[in-house]
């Protein structure tokens, strides 16, 4: 079954668990076979909205009651002399462990490439799902079927998007130029860290804490104020814009309304202005950055934040400067992070919690997620940290809720270049604090890594951002 969308492009529809799931193939440009370009771009998009009565953020007590906004996935395949590079951005909270590998393997097969060359990221909206294969399998064994996520729905999304990627390869466009732009975002981001009047430190400035007078009065703290845009062009024709900004993308959440929240609203508004340009948004390294200073959690403020993001995207796009795309290099390295060494994260404690039917479901889900990560570490599987190097710009994918300090660190490593950082890749670590945050005693049930994460993170960044230093 098919219909036509407003751009006149063909759209495939599939009914998944009672939901209409849309996968859009964005048409490419025909060129003479005798004049092949060095690079070509395939673009794809899909509707990955979860069904009703689905849990959000992995542990929120109120499951999805209504669809406020559809959840989408946007991405591209960049084809050139080497194996294809794939990037996908989900309006989901997190994808972890075996599920993360499922996505990379499926999309790699669809695009004719290898797992490490598939960059999968989540935007991290909280009114959206957390996907962890082994965790859900453990929960199933305890009679908690589909309590973390609906496995049938997820499998159908895997198949649908894989089909979309395969089909997109039949509609590619030449890429002749790369565009770079940036603009400051006004009154959105603020760091969780706030120093109290007595000198003590709290990381309590969450996404909707602006109603607290002290949190609203405190300065922004450590943030990256710049929204960055990398775009692909065929001559004077723009094909795709990739926007990145470091902030948690929530205005309010947990009330049962599924939503792409203010970053998704801004993206969709910009996309509607010119359907020929695919607008892709990714969250930067923002584990410790929220809209808390500027957001009191009121429903009306969601649109206020969306408008500020939209204006920044517009300004960043307007500032774009193009240059010929001559060469693309891909580098990746393996990162090993140590697991949280606190007793409550130990294997014995987690197994006991998971098996205890008297425990709150939230705690049992967290236990399953922790055990899933421990299994991964036990089999020696590290985290791939990839970097796509365009010469004048580098695009790097970070694991989990990496703190904004890592994004700023990456920029300092390449002060001569345009470095775009993407967070929420492989998400099993949860929060990945910097040394200074650990020194301030940052602790959280969503932090599965042990202190000391900064050293291996920095070393991995250097290996892919400063390849000349590789031995």
0.85 surpassed by pTM:
yes
Residue-level pLDDT at 36:
61
Would you say residue 333 has pLDDT above 90? Answer: yes
More confident residue, 13 or 344: 344
pLDDT digits (tens, 9 = 90+) for 425-438: 999 999 999 999 99
Token pair, residue 373, equals 């990560």
Rg (CA), the chain: 21
Residue-level pLDDT at 37:
67
First CA to last CA distance, the chain: 54
Tell me if 433 sits within 8 A of 403, measured CB to CB.
yes
pLDDT digits (tens, 9 = 90+) for 269-288: 999 999 999 999 999 999 99
Residue-level pLDDT at 469:
55
Read off the DSSP letter of residue 38.
S
Q: Could you tell me which of 157, 160, 158, 78 has the C-alpha nearest to residue 119?
A: 78
- Using pLDDT thresholds of 50, 70 and 90, give the confidence band for residue 28: low
- Using pLDDT thresholds of 50, 70 and 90, give the confidence band for residue 17: very low
Give me the mean pLDDT over the 152-171 stretch. 98
In sequence order, what are the beta bridge partners of 46?
23, 73
The angle formed by the CA atoms of residues 289, 293 and 297, to the nearest 5 degrees, is 95
Instruction: Count CB atoms within 10 A of the CB of residue 65.
Output: 12
Residue corresponding to tokens 């990560």: 373
Residue-level pLDDT at 14:
31
Would you say residue 2 has pLDDT above 70? Answer: no
- Report the mean per-residue pLDDT for the chain: 92
- Using pLDDT thresholds of 50, 70 and 90, give the confidence band for residue 31: very low
Burial class (CB in 10 A: 0-12, 13-18, 19+), 81: exposed
Would you say residue 343 has pLDDT above 80? Answer: yes
Residue 347 backbone dihedrals phi, psi, to 5 degrees:
-60, -45
- Distance from C-alpha of 383 to C-alpha of 376, rounded to nearest angstrom: 10
CA torsion through residues 376, 377, 378, 381, sign: positive
Tell me if 459 sits within 8 A of 356, measured CB to CB.
no
Residue-level pLDDT at 467:
79
Residue-level pLDDT at 110:
98
What CA–CA distances, in Å, run from 1 to 7, 158, 162, 163, 211? Answer: 18, 19, 18, 15, 48
- Using pLDDT thresholds of 50, 70 and 90, give the confidence band for residue 468: confident
- Using pLDDT thresholds of 50, 70 and 90, give the confidence band for residue 82: very high
């Amino acid at each position: 079954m098919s219909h036509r969308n407003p751009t006149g492009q063909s759209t495939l529809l599939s009914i998944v668990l009672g939901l209409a799931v849309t996968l859009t193939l964005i048409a490419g440009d025909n060129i003479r076979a005798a004049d092949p370009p060095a690079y070509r771009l395939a673009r794809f998009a899909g509707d990955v909205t979860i069904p009703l009565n689905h849990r959000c953020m992995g542990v929120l007590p109120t499951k999805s009651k209504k669809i406020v906004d559809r959840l989408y996935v946007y991405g591209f395949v960049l084809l050139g002399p080497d194996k294809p590079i794939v990037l996908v951005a989900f309006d989901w909270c997190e994808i972890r462990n075996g599920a993360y590998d499922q996505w990379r393997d499926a999309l790699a097969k669809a695009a004719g490439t290898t797992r490490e060359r598939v960059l999968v990221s989540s935007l991290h909206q909280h009114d959206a799902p957390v996907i962890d294969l082994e965790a859900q399998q453990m929960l199933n064994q305890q009679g908690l079927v589909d309590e973390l996520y609906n496995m049938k729905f997820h499998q159908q999304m895997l198949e649908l998007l894989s089909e979309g990627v395969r089909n997109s390869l039949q509609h590619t466009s030449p890429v002749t130029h790369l565009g770079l732009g940036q603009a400051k975002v006004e009154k959105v981001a603020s760091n969780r860290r706030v120093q109290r009047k007595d000198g003590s430190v709290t990381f309590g400035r969450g996404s909707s804490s602006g109603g607290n007078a002290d949190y609203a009065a405190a300065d922004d703290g450590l943030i990256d104020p710049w929204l960055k845009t990398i775009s692909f062009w065929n001559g004077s024709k723009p094909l795709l814009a990739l926007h990145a900004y470091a902030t948690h993308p929530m205005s309010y959440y947990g009330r049962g309304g599924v939503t792409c929240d203010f970053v998704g609203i801004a993206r969709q508004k910009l996309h509607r202005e010119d359907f020929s340009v695919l607008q892709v948004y990714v969250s930067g390294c923002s584990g410790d950055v929220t809209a808390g200073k500027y957001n009191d959690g009121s429903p009306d403020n969601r649109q206020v934040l969306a408008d500020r993001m939209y204006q920044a995207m517009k300004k960043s796009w307007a500032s774009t400067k193009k240059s010929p795309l001559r060469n693309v290099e891909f580098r990746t390295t393996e990162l090993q992070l140590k697991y949280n060494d606190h007793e409550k994260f130990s294997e014995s404690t987690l197994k006991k919690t998971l098996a205890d039917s008297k425990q709150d479901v939230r705690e049992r889900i967290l236990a399953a997620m922790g055990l899933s990560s421990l299994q991964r570490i036990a089999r020696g599987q590290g985290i791939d940290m990839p970097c796509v190097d365009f010469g004048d710009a580098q695009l790097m994918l970070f694991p989990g809720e990496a703190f904004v300090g890592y994004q700023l660190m990456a920029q300092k490593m390449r002060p001569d270049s345009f470095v775009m950082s993407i967070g929420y890749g492989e998400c099993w670590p949860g929060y990945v604090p910097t040394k200074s945050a650990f020194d301030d005693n940052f602790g959280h049930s969503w932090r599965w890594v042990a202190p000391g994460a900064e050293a291996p993170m920095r070393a991995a960044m250097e290996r892919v951002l400063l390849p000349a230093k590789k031995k």
